[in-house]
Amino acid sequence: MQETYQECDVLIIGSGIAGASVGYFLLNEQPDTSVVMLEAESTTSFHTTGRSAAFLLPFYGGDKVAPLTKFSKLFYEESPENFTTTPLLQHRGALHIANPDQMHSLERYYKEAISFIPELEMQTKEDVCARVPILNDNYVAGGIYDPDCYDLDVSAIHHGFLRGFQTAGGELYTNAQVVEISPNEGGGWLVASKAGVFKTKKLVNAAGAWGDKVAEMAGVAPIGLMPLRRTIVVCPLGEVDKQWPLVIDIDDGFYFRPEGEGLLASPGDETPSEPCDCQPEEIDIAKTAHDLEAITGKVVAKIDSKWAGLRTFTPDRVPAIGFDTGFDGQHDGFFWCVGQGGFGIQTAPAIGQLSADLLLGRPINTELLKQGVKPDSFAPKRF
């Protein structure tokens, strides 16, 4: 461990999309705040953030998460000056499809989502196959088209937050795995890491799959985070039109979209895992190929690339954002920002803004409230 000792107002554990967005908005709201960010790996984007399938789907995550996405989409459409030099959104569209046994799921989804996405269009079997001709018409019974789905430039988004954080005076340490956390006698926390020791008034747990382990290190009760492995492959499959929408099984059993000259596809797996640098399993790769063959009627003869990432959920699959409510006062200043599951990129601006407002004790951003965000829905005290 380096012999470094430093004091700061806020220390963030984790430089993924959660930590990066919190740091960005903290310094945007209160520039004189001293903020340090610790990353265990040698580079940022090493785990979940760098392995995202990179799309914005308006109702993904349900009715509590959808308002976060609405706010975030506005940010991505008109990001601040110097945030990025490239467009962050590119229109894709999404096609939710159902086989004959899933039509009840299709109808339920439409009823739940239509108030959030008035542009949803019910699709016949013929409509679905006309939009994506590669689909097997013996498999498809109907669908829903969502025009409000976009590809996300994850790298530009993540680096925009990190660059803005550092430009505003935030300090980022890599190779800075946390090894010990203890309450400070005078209040706040002492955090020992491989980059040195830090004394902070407020500690932000943005450690993703490692969130419960960070809490336990600090003597804070875990909230039951569930890291779940998700597999993705890219493969050629006949002629692919790059303008096809994202195609999603209505019960989240699989999805695919154009990627380069082929398709990016996932079996929708959710395999429980310990926090780790996860890798794809052969059985999940095989299931992806099997799903594609059933959906399209074509043979998957080759896999060009494959990877896996951990999508970490809370027990109710709604993010935990807010201060811990330790019963003895020793946990004052311990802030949770975890459980973004598979929607971390598409909700990052909203989660960053909400976290900054709560950390600074400021009124919640009016645009967040206007979009329907209810801060109490995310309070960790519910666990």
| DSSP calls for 204-260 | EE--GGGHHHHHHHTTPPP---EEEEEEEEEE--S---TTPPEEEETTSS-EEEEET
pLDDT band at 52 (very low <50, low <70, confident <90, very high): low
Query: Cα separation of 222 and 238, whole Å?
Result: 48
Residue 42: pLDDT over 60: yes
pLDDT at residue 331, rounded to an integer: 64
Render pLDDT for 229-275 as a digit per residue (tens, 0 to 9): 999 999 998 889 999 999 999 998 899 999 988 999 999 999 999 99
Render pLDDT for 324-355 as a digit per residue (tens, 0 to 9): 976 444 567 999 999 999 999 999 999 999 99
pLDDT at residue 327, rounded to an integer: 46
Predicted TM-score of the model (pTM): 0.94
Render pLDDT for 135-193 as a digit per residue (tens, 0 to 9): 999 999 999 999 999 999 999 999 999 999 999 999 999 999 999 999 988 889 999 99
Query: Cα separation of 360 and 12, whole Å?
Result: 14
Q: Is 298 left (phi over 0), alpha (psi -120 to 50) or beta?
A: beta
Residue 111: pLDDT over 60: yes
Buried-state track 257-294, b at ≥16 Cβ within 10 A, e below 16? bbbeebbbbbbbbeeebebeebebeeebbebbbebbee
Residue 124: strand pairing partners: 142
For residue 127, the SS3 value is: helix
Contact 91, 58 (CB under 8 A): no
CATH of 5-71+154-225+316-382, one of 3.40.190.10, 1.10.3720.10, 3.50.50.60, 3.40.50.1950: 3.50.50.60
Nearest-Å Rg of the Cα atoms of the chain is: 21
pLDDT at residue 5, rounded to an integer: 84
What residues does CATH 3.50.50.60 cover in the chain?
5-71+154-225+316-382
Q: Domain 94-147+226-313 belongs to what topology?
A: D-Amino Acid Oxidase; Chain A, domain 2 (3.30.9)
pLDDT at residue 1, rounded to an integer: 43
For residue 356, the SS3 value is: helix
Q: Is the dihedral of CA 152, 154, 155, 161 positive or negative?
A: positive
Render pLDDT for 200-238 as a digit per residue (tens, 0 to 9): 999 999 999 999 999 999 999 999 999 999 999 999 988
What residues does CATH 3.30.9.10 cover in the chain?
94-147+226-313
Q: Please give the DSSP secondary-structure letter assigned to residue 49.
A: G
Helices and strands in the chain, H and E counts: 9, 20
